[in-house]
Structure formats: structure tokens, C-alpha cells
Amino acid sequence: MTSTAGEPDRAPVDVSRETWNAQESDTPIGAEAERAVRLMHAASEGLLPKPSRQRIFTVANQKGGVGKTTTAVNIAAALALQGARTLVIDLDPQGNASTALGIEHRPGTPSSYEVLIGEIPVEAALQQSPHNELLFCVPATIDLAGAEIELVSMVAREGRLRTALAELKQHDFDYVFIDCPPSLGLLTINALVAAPEVLIPIQCEYYALEGVGQLLRNIEMVKAHLNPELNVTTVVLTMYDGRTKLADQVAMDVRAHFGDKVLRTVIPRSVKVSEAPGYGMTIIDYDPGSRGAMSYLDASRELAQRGAPEQAR
């Protein structure tokens, strides 16, 4: 498939060198084929260092539509492709992460809701991805929509997910990503209490940093009172459009604000990335030769390298 209007051939300035090299092939089709081959071989390259202990990320930003779900599922799929056992916990009643991973989440399916309220162990809700045997998901069903209110009257309401996930230590997941709803309510608080790391996706658009201050204050509050281990370790710039000056400005602002927490890899805006969930697939499976797939692969490697034990870097 050739580039579409949604995928300009011009590489964004911050896109990693690997992505850039792939652009240098003679033709767009040639470049795409090269990328696809590189991605298919990613698993056998053995470049991905394993974390010394399970890494749990909360993917949060109370703004909707900034790329939380897309980033969670695609980084997870890219890590799984490279041999890491990876779990995505869908904590958004919309169930978009479940959909994107091709995971059953009809009402009645054992889900994050029952796990959260302590009705079932997390193991009982685990489903394996149809595309990768190392990739798993705890789906969200519409039942989760009521949880925000139900939780209010529950004992230890902020720590329920943490308690439920304690048993995950017995599973050998290398990575766990918790996909949050677009709010700072009790579901997101539960995710922040359950994870040591926060990954914030930021869309390269107007008002990108709007609301991030509020998110950071909430994170500080959770850290002070409920989860001293909590830190924002990773910021991902999403939906970058190299044709606009605005995108560069936003990227610069975000880097000035978050420094080296921001991954060097920037996720380009790409029609393919937005099409993939419609087929119950991540971009990694839907179109491995696309720039979107390559950028998520690069992002996953950066994330893995940053958390690797010193000697493996």
C-alpha cells in the first residue's frame, strides 16, 4: 500500500533514526516493504532487554481522544512481538482497548469490573490475544460504567485494583498497561494506586498541555497519600503531523516541560493507525509496513531500554 494523504512522506523531525532510514528507500512501496520486513524480524533480533521486574504502567490523561488507548495497545503489541509477556487491562467502560485487541467484551464477559470489585481473581478475566500468544487482555464491559459510583461506598475504594493485581506477581508478565478512561475519577485513581509508572500520551494539537497540570497534581496527591512509588516515567507525543508548525511547537513545549521523560520517538498521525481497531487489530498486525507500526515499535524499544537493568542497556 502506498502512502495516503493522511501519511505524508516527509518524516517528522523527531522520528527516530530507524524510522527515518526506512524512509530513505527509493520508493514509498520499497520503504514500506523494508519496514514490514524489519518489523517481522523484530522478534528474532533479540534487541529487547527484559525488565528486571514486572513493570506496570498506568496510561492516563483525562482528556479524551489523545491516544491513550492507541498507545497502550500498540506499545503492548510491539513489546509482545519482541518476546515480552504483556498484559493490557482495559479500565475504560468504552472497552476500546478490548476492541482494538480483538478481545471479547460483550456484557457478561468476565472483566475488569468484577476484578475491581473483588468478585473474581484477575486470572479469571484474562484473555489471550488472537494475534500474539504473549499478549493478554483483561477486557472492560459496559458494567464498568457503574463502577465509578459503586466504588464510592466501598471500603478502601482507591486501592481495590492494587489489591486485585497483587496476584499478578505470580504471573510472569514483563509489562502491564492499564488503559484509563478520560477522567480523573475513581477508576483512574485506582489505576494510579496500582502502578509505579505513569505513561502520559500527549496529542500534538492545540491545548495539548491543558489539563496536564491537573493530572500531575492528582498524581502528586496519590503519591503523597496512597502510592509513594508512583512516578511519571514516560511521555509519548501522539498524532504528530509533520506538515504543521503547530505540531513542532507543541512537541517543543512538551519536551521543555517533561525533559527526557518524553520518548524521542514521535507517533505520526496516520489513517492506518485509526483504521486498525475497526478490524480488531493493533497497527502492528493490521499493517506492519506502516510508519505507525514502525513508530510504535521504536517507542516500545525506547520504553524497554529505559527500564532495563543497567548492564543490558
> From the CB of 68, what's the least distance to Mg ion, in Å?
5
Q: Which residues of 113-140 are buried (b: 16+ CB within 10 A; e: fewer)?
A: bbbbbeeeebeebbbebebbebbbbbbb
E strand residue ranges, 148-276: 175-179, 197-203, 231-238
What is the H or E stretch that residue 158 is in?
none
Residue closer to ligand ADP (CB basis): 120 or 142: 142
**From the DSSP assignment, how many helices (H) and strands (E) are in the chain?**
14, 7
Q: Which does 239 bind (CB under 5 to 8 A by kind): ligand ADP, Mg ion, none?
A: ligand ADP
CA distance 280 to 128: 13
> From the CB of 55, what's the least distance to ligand ADP, in Å?
20
Contact, 151 vs 115, CB < 8 A? no
> From the CB of 252, what's the least distance to Mg ion, in Å?
26
DSSP letter, residue 5: T
Residue closer to Mg ion (CB basis): 132 or 188: 188
Chain residues 129-188 in contact with ligand ADP, contact rule CB under 6 A: 182
- Reduced to 3 states (helix: H, G, I; strand: E, B; else coil), residue 55 is strand
Cα diameter, the chain: 62
Residue closer to Mg ion (CB basis): 69 or 282: 69
Q: Which position has the grid cell 501522539?
A: 238
Q: Is 270 in the site for ligand ADP (CB under 6 A)?
A: yes
- Reduced to 3 states (helix: H, G, I; strand: E, B; else coil), residue 127 is strand
Residue closer to ligand ADP (CB basis): 65 or 228: 65
Q: Report how far Cα 57 is from the mean position of its chain's Cα atoms.
A: 8
> From the CB of 156, what's the least distance to ligand ADP, in Å?
27
**Interaction pattern, residues 227-256, with ligand ADP; x per rule: CB under 6 A:** -----------xx-----------------
CA distance 114 to 71: 25
Residue closer to ligand ADP (CB basis): 51 or 292: 292
> From the CB of 189, what's the least distance to ligand ADP, in Å?
17
**Interaction pattern, residues 66-95, with Mg ion; x per rule: CB under 5 A:** --xx--------------------------
Chain residues 51-70 in contact with Mg ion, contact rule CB under 5 A: 68-69
CA distance 304 to 67: 20
CA distance 147 to 157: 10
DSSP letter, residue 260: G
> From the CB of 94, what's the least distance to Mg ion, in Å?
6
Chain residues 88-107 in contact with ligand ADP, contact rule CB under 6 A: 96
Choose the binding region for ligand ADP from 83-91, 103-111, 124-132, 265-273 (rule: CB under 6 A): 265-273
User: Under the rule (CB under 5 A), what is the footprint of Mg ion?
Assistant: 68-69, 96
The residues of the shown chain that bind ligand ADP, judged by CB under 6 A, are: 64-70, 96, 182, 238-239, 267, 269-270, 273-274, 277, 292
